[in-house]
Amino acid sequence: MTPLRDALLARIAGDEAALVGLLGDLVRAASPNPPGDTRAAAAVLTDWLSRHDVPFRVVGPDPLMPNILASFEGARPGPHLVLNGHIDTFPTVGAHRWTQDPLGGAVVDGRLYGTGSSDMKQGTASMVALFCWLYGMRDRLAGRLTLTAVSDEETFGPNGARYLVEHHAEEVLGDCLLNAEPGAPTTVRFAEKSPLWLGIDVQTMGCHGAYTHKSPSATKIAATIIEELAALEETDVPLPPAVAEAIAAGAAEIDRVHLAGAARTMGAVTLNIGTWQGGVLVNMLPGHCAIEADIRIPWGIDPDAIVERARGIVSRHEGATLRVLSKQSPRWSDPAHPMVGHIQRNAEAVAGWSVRPIPSLAGTDSRLWRERGVPAFTYGTTATNVAMPDENTDVAEWMKVVRIHALSALDYLTKETDR
């Protein structure tokens, strides 16, 4: 152990109780999105920064959705690390089925309960605390550290991280992003599949339900289109070797964390028909049906090629049209990046965990940095009951993850190899 590591670990040990208090305060400051008003929760974080004499700014286009931005330079040149977490949460789900108050932030049997306690107020609290600890050591660090605690993440809206990377790129892109979304502390996520959302409309004449010879049925055509779209799931995927190797090596862990079948899903194109609207009355033949398809694209596949195949299927059906609602390219960061090594070594040292780099099925704000060519890594606690009753965080596990985050950031800002 170097003196700097010892000093950091001592600082964390001294702040543990306060950090748990910070998370409780954050949970009690509700910030459901929608509507996405995060002012109360952001104030909890800015109070913490102010009490630690850490300078920060609040930026963003919507005063209801503040983004906290802070940055400092180390004593000598070096790489620029950016820390990211979001302040908003999903709305409380099934309030009557919770055994604890969703806005109580109570610790019961070692777990802190509340909406957002797992996704991701604990991770954002870690990032804010970590920024303060390292700010206090800045005269012994290299490079630069930036904190981005953002709003508007749960709906992937424009006012949070997207606003920062578009309007404050110089400050927030950096050389490497560390994002603290929960998942499993035995995995570090270096890639995300990308969503491709398609809207398909079918228009026919429609008529009385007894006269099926008069008009094609829009709902029947839509059903046929859905069956044909299922062929997209059989697409051959030429995964980049580094991604394929990570999925193969991490398959058992991926299936353990995300249930059996997850590793296979990770490397495949998947189709979900998220919405379906058609028909007016049981005895009318529908003249309109609209569906929305959520297609998830793995690495190595061009979303435009999938769009063209979907368009080919849809265009075979009279009256059917296709619109692209949202399209992104799947990105990945190098699983051999130094940050992955720092997390692996520190997880082993702090908790005895063996950490595997794996891709992620769902999206996080990390994708916005990857889109701009910045290596981005997501590491956090076990996601527990996210978007479900009794969402909670295991405090003891969280305290280990806090140390792993902190030591890995310290390594990044002190080790020559990361330049």
Question: Does the protein bind Zn ion through residue 152 (CB under 5 A)?
Answer: no
Question: Does the protein bind Zn ion through residue 386 (CB under 5 A)?
Answer: no
| Nearest-approach distance from CB 338 to Zn ion, in angstroms | 25
List the one residue out of 144, 131, 123, 68 whose CA is nearest residue 381: 123
| Nearest-approach distance from CB 65 to Zn ion, in angstroms | 15
Q: Which is nearer to Zn ion, 402 or 410 (CB)?
A: 402
| Nearest-approach distance from CB 337 to Zn ion, in angstroms | 22
Count of CB atoms situated within 10 Å of the CB of 148? 30
Say whether 58 sits in a helix, a strand or coil.
strand
Question: Does the protein bind Zn ion through residue 150 (CB under 5 A)?
Answer: no
As a whole number of angstroms, the distance between CA 98 and CA 104 comes to 11
Q: Which is nearer to Zn ion, 19 or 120 (CB)?
A: 120
Evaluate whether 405 touches 131 at the Cβ level (below 8 Å).
no
| Nearest-approach distance from CB 120 to Zn ion, in angstroms | 4
Evaluate whether 219 touches 278 at the Cβ level (below 8 Å).
yes
Name the segment binding Zn ion (CB under 5 A); options: 23-31, 112-120, 191-199, 401-409: 112-120
The amino acid sitting at 48 is W
Q: Which is nearer to Zn ion, 72 or 156 (CB)?
A: 156
Q: Which is nearer to Zn ion, 112 or 306 (CB)?
A: 112
Beta bridge partners of 324: 198
Name the segment binding Zn ion (CB under 5 A); options: 118-126, 307-315, 333-341, 392-400: 118-126
Name the segment binding Zn ion (CB under 5 A); options: 30-38, 48-56, 111-119, 141-149: 111-119
Q: Roughly how many angstroms between the first and final C-alpha of the chain, as a whole number?
A: 22
| Nearest-approach distance from CB 351 to Zn ion, in angstroms | 22
Q: Which is nearer to Zn ion, 181 or 397 (CB)?
A: 181
As a whole number of angstroms, the distance between CA 75 and CA 93 comes to 47
Question: Does the protein bind Zn ion through residue 107 (CB under 5 A)?
Answer: no
Q: Which is nearer to Zn ion, 341 or 380 (CB)?
A: 380
CA dist list (Å): 40 to 246, 274, 345, 411: 40, 33, 37, 33
| Nearest-approach distance from CB 365 to Zn ion, in angstroms | 8
| Nearest-approach distance from CB 257 to Zn ion, in angstroms | 16
Name the segment binding Zn ion (CB under 5 A); options: 27-35, 119-127, 298-306, 353-361: 119-127
Quote the DSSP letter at residue 92. Answer: P
| Nearest-approach distance from CB 90 to Zn ion, in angstroms | 8
| Nearest-approach distance from CB 294 to Zn ion, in angstroms | 18
Q: Which is nearer to Zn ion, 54 or 120 (CB)?
A: 120
List the one residue out of 18, 46, 100 whose CA is nearest residue 402: 18
Question: Does the protein bind Zn ion through residue 411 (CB under 5 A)?
Answer: no
DSSP of 354-384: PPEEEEESS--THHHHHHTT--EEE--SB--
CA dist list (Å): 163 to 61, 69, 141, 147, 172: 8, 12, 29, 15, 11
Rg, Å, the chain Cα set: 24
CA 183 distance to own-chain centroid: 9
Question: Does the protein bind Zn ion through residue 120 (CB under 5 A)?
Answer: yes
As a whole number of angstroms, the distance between CA 136 and CA 147 comes to 14
Name the segment binding Zn ion (CB under 5 A); options: 117-125, 212-220, 308-316, 331-339: 117-125
| Nearest-approach distance from CB 181 to Zn ion, in angstroms | 5
CA dist list (Å): 281 to 67, 215, 234, 244: 47, 16, 36, 49
Q: Which is nearer to Zn ion, 156 or 276 (CB)?
A: 156
Beta bridge partners of 71: 146
By rule CB under 5 A, what string of x and - marks binding of each residue 164-193 to Zn ion?
A: -----------------x------------
Question: Does the protein bind Zn ion through residue 119 (CB under 5 A)?
Answer: yes
CA dist list (Å): 287 to 29, 201, 224, 309: 48, 11, 15, 25
Number of residues interacting with Zn ion: please give it, by CB under 5 A.
3
By the criterion CB under 5 A, which residues form the site for Zn ion? 119-120, 181
